[in-house]
Amino acid sequence: MSASENGTEGQRLQAPEIRLIEKALRRIVRAHDLQSRALAKRCGLTAAQFVIMKGISELGEVTSAALSVYADISPATVVTILDNLEERGLIQRYRSGNDRRIVHTRLTEAGSVLLAQAPEPMGDAFIERFSQLPPVEQMAVAEAAGRLAELISRAAAPLLAMPPESIAQASVTGNKEY
């Protein structure tokens, strides 16, 4: 049934499931924000800085491109994060001995110590509750979260390519071409 057939032309219908997802996402974003503040207060790292440092720790001496893939953060943002971490003495960047165009990153001693002392970004309480779920349910939650992220990312991709004024215009006119 189309919008004109059900008498809702000009109105966007939202299934109850969509409203439940939106509400859950708001709760997740809020919880993430609170956890990020706690992380910053406790060890002085943002969630993104923590993820990048964790990536360096897990991957070893690594390039910013590899960190971008690891953290699912844009290459430009990774470089900005690395600049900040280097300025604080938590990482060190150096050129490859084989190819001077390649820049590797490693944790400094101070970075390793800070990372070891940092709390989990999702919070110990979440980790505890999640670990108590049966393995099948843990996998189901992880897969559902991944699938939701994929759906949202695909929906947002066209918006990222648009100039801000076009996004505003599309939202006002209801233009779905974007």
**How confident is the model over 29-33, as a mean pLDDT?**
90
Q: Is the pLDDT of residue 112 over 70?
A: yes
Number of other residues whose CB lies within 10 A of the CB of residue 120: 13
| Domain segments of the chain as ranges | 16-118, 133-172
**How confident is the model over 53-63, as a mean pLDDT?**
93
What is the pLDDT at residue 4? 44
Q: Which CATH number among 3.30.1330.10, 1.10.10.10, 2.60.40.10, 2.10.109.10 corresponds to the domain 16-118? A: 1.10.10.10
Q: Is the pLDDT of residue 178 over 50?
A: no
Q: Which two tokens stand for residue 105?
A: 């990153």
pLDDT in tens, 3-29: 444 455 555 657 888 899 999 999 999
User: Helix, strand or coil for residue 106?
Assistant: strand
pLDDT in tens, 116-132: 998 887 888 889 999 99
For 105, which DSSP code?
E
Place of tokens 């309480």: 125
What pTM, to 2 d.p., does this model score?
Answer: 0.72
